[in-house]
Amino acid sequence: MHQKIKNKNILITGGAGFIGSNLARRLVADGNTITVADSLIPEYGGNSRNLKDIQNKISFSLSDVRDVAAINDLIKGHDYLFNLAGQTSHLDSMHDPITDLDINAKAQLSILEACRKHNPGIRIVFASTRQIYGKPKYLPVDEKHPRHPVDVNGINKIAGEQYHILYQEVYGIESSVLRLTNTYGPRMRIKDARQTFLGIWIRNLLEGKPLQVFGDGKQRRDYNYVEDVLDALLIAATEENAIGKAYNLGAPDPLSLEDTAKIMCQKTVGGDYQMVPFPKDRKAIDVGDFICDYSAFRDQFGWEPKVSFEEGIQRSIEYFREEIENYI
């Protein structure tokens, strides 16, 4: 019962990335004309393998959202923009904060300026992150929770989403914001922990290495399977009541890190995990338990995750068992 978009011209920034490529696949199947823009920078989520089976059905632009001229050109003629390009690594944002700002804040402002000048009728969905809230003051974390990020990434993502809301309010450019929690599934980055720790855990499992659980393993997290996130993106893009709003996503079945590791190990012969002390740079930005309250989005639009963690992680491991050499 997700919303459908059909026969439209759609631009996806970060479209060779994990979520973007899965979205492109679904939108192509619904008869849309898709342009994927991606810089394919190795440290980020873009991977040409993600588009291999649909490469003849989409237009691909090798371009960086920081390239103002390219963005000005790309934005023209599209009905929808799924604005998914981003630097997602919290540690990278501390090691190279200016690059994080350029991608997650400055490029977003350039994209919105391009829309204002060249395509003010475009409909935008911007992918934000629960990282904007920082360490929870209460659980589950709803949209009213104070925003006190623990890394540069969270600060820049706040700016990125606020620009979208502002351009809606001042210029009428129709934008919606979704704040994603740990999203996982086929085509995610598993080379390292840059997207979420679930990526490196899948890799370690498939390579026969034990999963490393930091701290006491009791920190709880919520996970969304990518197909559920695609449903949410399409709802956000098509529901008029979502315009100018920012919503949390989330899941009804949060798990402790240790229980997460246990489930993942059960899915793989010989899978094992070990408890290890927090690395210092991780501890500095750890937020303890984190569970998002997604009831606003659920109650307003009827969205509810359909894929349990057990089921989703099973599908993910199956995908990567076949594909691992293309992702490491």
Q: Is 107 or 236 the residue whose CB approaches a copy of itself more closely?
A: 107
- 175 makes contact with a copy of itself (CB under 8 A): no
Q: Which residues inside 109-128 make contact with a copy of itself, applying CB under 8 A?
A: 109-110, 113
Q: How far is the CB of 95 from a copy of itself (least distance, A)?
A: 11
Sign of the alpha-carbon dihedral angle for 87, 43, 212, 184: positive
As a three-state string, the secondary structure of the chain is: CCCCCCCCEEEEECCCCHHHHHHHHHHHHCCCEEEEEECCCCCCCCCHHHHHHHCCCCEEEECCCCCHHHHHHHCCCCCEEEECCCCCCHHHHHHCHHHHHHHHHHHHHHHHHHHHHHCCCCEEEEEEEHHHHECCCCCCECCCCCCECCCHHHHHHHHHHHHHHHHHHHHCCEEEEEEECEEECCCCCCCCCCCCHHHHHHHHHHCCCCEEEECCCCCEECEEEHHHHHHHHHHHHHCHHHCCCEEECCCCCCEEHHHHHHHHHHCCCCCCEEEECCCHHHHHCCCCCCCECCHHHHHHHCCCCCCCHHHHHHHHHHHHHHHHHHCC
Q: Does 170 bind a copy of itself (CB under 8 A)?
A: yes
Q: Please identify, using beta-carbon distances, which residue of 28 and 109 lies nearer to a copy of itself.
A: 109
Is 169 among the residues that bind a copy of itself (CB under 8 A)? yes
- Interface mask (CB under 8 A) for a copy of itself, residues 263-292, using x and -? ---------------------xx-------
How near is the Cβ of 155 to a copy of itself at its closest, in Å?
4
* Minimal distance, residue 107 CB to a copy of itself, in Å: 10
For residues 64 and 46, what is the distance between their CA atoms, to the nearest angstrom?
11
By rule CB under 8 A, what count of residues binds a copy of itself?
Answer: 30
180: tokens are 């994603």
Query: Based on CB atoms, which residue is closest to a copy of itself, 217 or 244?
Result: 244
Residue 66 touching a copy of itself (CB under 8 A): no
The nearer residue to a copy of itself, 150 or 263, going by C-beta atoms, is 150
Is residue 155 close enough to count as binding a copy of itself by CB under 8 A?
yes
Report the site for a copy of itself in 69-108 (rule: CB under 8 A): 94, 97-98, 101-102, 105-106
Only segment of 39-47, 154-162, 251-259, 261-269 that touches a copy of itself (CB under 8 A): 154-162
Provide the minimum distance between the beta carbon of 203 and a copy of itself in the complex, in angstroms, as a whole number: 28
Of 4 and 117, CB closest to a copy of itself: 117
Q: Is 149 in the site for a copy of itself (CB under 8 A)?
A: yes
**Residues in the site for a copy of itself, rule: CB under 8 A?**
94, 97-98, 101-102, 105-106, 109-110, 113, 144, 146-152, 155-156, 158-159, 162-163, 165-166, 169-170, 284-285
